[in-house]
């Protein structure tokens, strides 16, 4: 499997990385099968394993740590922090207080003394980026972390973090992990060019768009329609548009002589900013199919046809833009607070 250097870290990573979100209570609870999938991926040449503390409420990191015993030194191990790890408001976010606790918890669950790539799993509007970078820099200098990165960061936040790191003498972020697929291309506008301009590696997640670009006939996001209807309910106009696009993409893949999954992987791998594509299989069969798509190269004619189906820089469903969706969900970030007296006076009028 082809290797590429992750940004300016000097770390060599495989063109496909193994995402582990589907191992544990969020996906496949069979730990033995999860360990088998991880072992098969490593045997096939995958050397980057990506996880997060929030996956399976910590259980996924434990599965990964157990599976990597005896092979840890040959693996680039990446994990993330930011999401809630309990009801306490201080057990989440990007503060120094939480980072120092979260990293120790992850090290324990993973059964290792260092993390190769420690990633901020989202923007925290309540924490100054200077504080976050200061804490992460201390972890790098202590040897507990080798490099730091981001996930789901908008381009402006990447630039602000770079500016802050340079002026305050902090370690800078070396990678970004955005959602990127044929159906969700808005990161092509700003995030991918920004990462490339600043020498950041890109680990693209969600190349199959949560199952929309898989070859199985089951409903995409099966079991999630009730929880996330805006992303999966076929009655939503944006999802109907995705379904129509998938039909055309499936026909294009057949014409090109490959499965739709391989077309999807080849599309993401074609972008010059992308270092590695994160695949997230739940079973051995899914892994086998995805590994066969490594090295898929789409010619200009196929890529032009894809552009006709889904225009460059666009999201067929805006809700699939993960970073923007998180930011806009907080109304306090886009509405000026109204004084109570003004509200009462308006009511009297």
Q: Which residues are catalytic?
A: 55
Those residues with Cβ within 8 angstroms of residue 306's Cβ, 6 or more apart along the chain or in another chain: 182, 249, 252, 263, 267, 298
Please state the φ and ψ torsions of residue 99, each to the nearest 5 degrees: -60, -45
The helix (H) or strand (E) run that includes residue 179 is none
Q: Which residue shows structure tokens 């209570």?
A: 25
Q: Which residue shows structure tokens 């589907």?
A: 22
Q: Which of 213, 129, 190, 115 is nearest to 163 (CA)?
A: 129
Please state the φ and ψ torsions of residue 281, each to the nearest 5 degrees: -70, 150
CA distances from 147 to 103, 170, 306, 334, 346 (A): 13, 12, 35, 33, 54
For residues 277 and 46, give the distance between their C-alpha atoms in angstroms, rounded to a whole number.
11
CA distances from 161 to 131, 167, 189 (A): 11, 10, 19
Q: Which of 51, 323, 24, 106 is nearest to 98 (CA)?
A: 106
For residues 206 and 121, give the distance between their C-alpha atoms in angstroms, rounded to a whole number.
15
CA distances from 20 to 55, 67, 80, 122 (A): 8, 12, 12, 18
Q: What is the DSSP letter of 330?
A: -
Q: Which of 139, 141, 177 is nearest to 158 (CA)?
A: 177
């Amino acid at each position: 499997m082809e290797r590429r250097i992750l940004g300016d870290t000097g770390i060599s990573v495989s063109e496909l990385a193994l995402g582990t979100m589907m191992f544990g209570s969020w996906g496949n609870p069979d730990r033995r099968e999860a360990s088998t999938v991880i072992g098969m991926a490593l045997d096939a040449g995958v050397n980057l394993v990506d996880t997060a503390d929030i996956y399976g409420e910590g259980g996924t990191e434990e599965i990964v740590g157990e599976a990597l015993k005896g092979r840890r030194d040959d693996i680039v191990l990446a994990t993330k922090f930011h999401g809630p790890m309990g009801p306490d408001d201080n057990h989440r976010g990007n503060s120094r207080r939480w980072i120092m606790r979260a990293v120790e918890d992850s090290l324990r669950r993973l059964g290792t003394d260092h993390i190769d790539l420690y990633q901020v799993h989202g923007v925290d509007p309540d924490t100054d980026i200077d504080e976050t970078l200061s804490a992460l820099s201390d972890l790098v200098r202590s040897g507990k972390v080798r490099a730091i990165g981001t996930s789901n960061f908008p381009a402006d936040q990447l630039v602000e973090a770079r500016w802050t790191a340079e002026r305050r003498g902090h370690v800078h972020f070396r990678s970004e992990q955005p959602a990127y697929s044929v159906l969700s291309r808005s990161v092509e506008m700003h995030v991918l060019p920004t990462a490339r301009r600043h020498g950041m590696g890109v680990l693209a997640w969600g190349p199959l768009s949560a199952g929309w670009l898989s070859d199985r006939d089951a409903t995409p996001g099966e079991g999630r329609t009730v929880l996330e209807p805006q992303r999966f309910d076929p009655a939503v106009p944006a999802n109907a548009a995705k379904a129509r696009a998938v039909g055309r993409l499936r026909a294009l893949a057949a014409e090109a002589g490959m499965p739709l999954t391989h077309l999807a992987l080849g599309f993401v791998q074609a972008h010059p900013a992308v270092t590695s594509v994160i695949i997230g299989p739940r079973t051995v069969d899914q892994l086998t199919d995805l590994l066969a798509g490594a090295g898929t190269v789409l010619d200009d004619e196929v890529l032009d046809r894809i552009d006709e189906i889904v225009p460059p820089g666009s999201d067929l469903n805006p809700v699939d833009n993960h970073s923007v969706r998180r930011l806009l969900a907080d109304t306090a970030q886009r509405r000026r607070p109204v004084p109570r007296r003004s509200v009462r006076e308006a009511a009297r009028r």
